[in-house]
Amino acid sequence: MVSAAVSVSPEQCFQEQGYFLARGLIAPAEVSNIRDTFMALAAKGPIPGISDILAGARPGDPLAFYPRMMNPHRHPEVPVGPLALRYLLDDRILALLRAFAGSDVWAAQSMFYFKPPGSRGQALHQDNFYLKVKPGTCLAAWIAIDDCDRENGAMEVVPGSHHLPTICPEQADAAHSFTTHFVRPPEYMHPVMPVMQAGDVLFFNGQLIHGSTPNVSASRFRRALICHYMPAGSEEIAGWYDTLDSRGERVAGVKVSTDGGPCGTPFEATAPH
The domain that holds 150 is classified in CATH as 2.60.120.620
pLDDT at 252: 95
Q: What is d(CA 83, CA 265) in angstroms, rounded to the nearest whole number?
A: 25
Nearest 5°: the CA angle 203, 30, 65 is: 80
Confidence grade of residue 246 (pLDDT, cut at 50, 70, 90): very high
pLDDT at 52 over 50: yes
Band of pLDDT at residue 266, cut at 50, 70 and 90: confident
Does residue 12 form part of some domain? no
Of the chain, the percentage scoring pLDDT greater than 70 comes to: 95
Residue 3 falls inside a structural domain: no
Kindly tell me if the per-residue pLDDT of 1 is higher than 80. Answer: no
pTM score above 0.85: yes
Average pLDDT rounded to a whole number, residues 61-66: 95
- C-alpha 273/C-alpha 270 separation (Å) is 10
Q: Which long-range contacts (CB under 8 A, 24 or more apart) does 39-44 make?
A: 40/79, 41/69, 41/78, 41/79, 41/80, 42/66, 42/69, 42/114
Residue-wise pLDDT for 105-125, tens only, equals 999 999 999 999 999 999 999
| Contact assessment for residue 52 and residue 70, using Cβ atoms and an 8 Å cutoff | yes
Residue 33 in 3-state DSSP? helix
Average pLDDT, the chain: 93
pLDDT band at 258 (very low <50, low <70, confident <90, very high): confident
Does the pLDDT of residue 149 top 60, yes or no?
yes
Domain membership flag for residue 131: yes
End-to-end Cα spacing for the chain: 43
Collapsed DSSP state (helix, strand, coil) of residue 84? helix
Asked, for residue 103, whether it belongs to a domain, the answer is: yes
The pLDDT of residue 264 is 67
> Which whole number is the average pLDDT over 9-29?
97
pLDDT at 227 over 70: yes
Determine, yes or no, domain membership for 264.
yes
Angle at 254 between CA 249 and CA 258, to 5 degrees: 130
pLDDT of residue 191 exceeding 60: yes
What mean pLDDT comes out for the span 138-164?
98
Least confident range from 6-15, 59-68, 264-273: namely: 264-273
Give the whole-number percent of the chain exceeding pLDDT 90: 88
Q: In this structure, is residue 8 part of a structural domain?
A: no
Across residues 28-47, what is the average pLDDT? 98
Q: Is pLDDT above 60 for 3?
A: no
Confidence check: pLDDT of 8 > 90:
no
Q: How far is CA 145 from the centre of its chain?
A: 12
Whether 213 is in a domain gets the answer yes
Q: For residue 170, report the phi and psi dihedrals to the nearest 5 degrees.
A: -95, 175
Residue 200 identity: D
Please tell me the distance from the alpha carbon of residue 84 to that of residue 88, in angstroms, as a whole number.
Answer: 6
CA distance 242 to 107: 7
pLDDT at position 4, please?
Answer: 47
Note whether residue 92 is domain-resident. Answer: yes
Domain span including residue 35 = 18-44+62-268
Helices in 124-223 by DSSP H: which ranges? 128-131
User: In this structure, are residues 177 and 121 in contact, taking their beta carbons and an 8 Å threshold?
Assistant: yes
pLDDT digits (tens, 9 = 90+) for 166-186: 999 999 999 999 999 999 999
Report the number of distinct structural domains present in the chain: 1
- Residue 195, Cβ neighbours under 10 Å: how many? 13
Report the pLDDT value the prediction gives residue 2, as an integer from 0 to 100. Answer: 43
